[in-house]
Amino acid sequence: MISRTHIKSRMVNKTNTLVKDTITTALKTKSKTWHTVAQRLSAATRKHGSVNLSRIEKITTTGDTLVILGKVLGGGDVTKKVRLCALSFSGSALDKLKKTKSETVSVLEEIAKNPKANGVKVL
């Protein structure tokens, strides 16, 4: 695990204010889960992954909260009602998630709402 100081030094190179704010908020919490999120977000942007809805369908159950450190893409379908937290969502993914009444929020909003990271899975 990387120290808070090292993560803060990596933030100097970040230009996306949403990512900077997310890292700062995650470091303010005492949760190891959010510390890991801050660590992964402070890494190079090319390491942030994109995830299709078909993969989300395979790894979640109804009612799960899933944090995705990248973009959610619209490949496949989701039949379960889940709560997804990601850096961004494609338009087709948002349309498909609205049909299942799934909730979509930014990672920053989830950290503010759930500082202890109860019931959160990080992908």
pTM of the model: 0.85
pLDDT of residue 85: 92
Backbone region of residue 122 per phi and psi (left: phi > 0; alpha: psi in -120 to 50; beta: other values): beta
Reported in sequence order, the residue ranges of the chain that DSSP labels E, i.e. its strands, are 49-52, 65-73, 83-89, 103-106, 120-122
Q: How confident is the model at residue 42 (pLDDT cuts 50, 70, 90)?
A: confident
CATH code of the domain made up of 4-122: 3.100.10.10
Q: How confident is the model at residue 4 (pLDDT cuts 50, 70, 90)?
A: confident
CA nearest neighbour of 112 among 26, 2, 8: 26
Q: How confident is the model at residue 73 (pLDDT cuts 50, 70, 90)?
A: very high
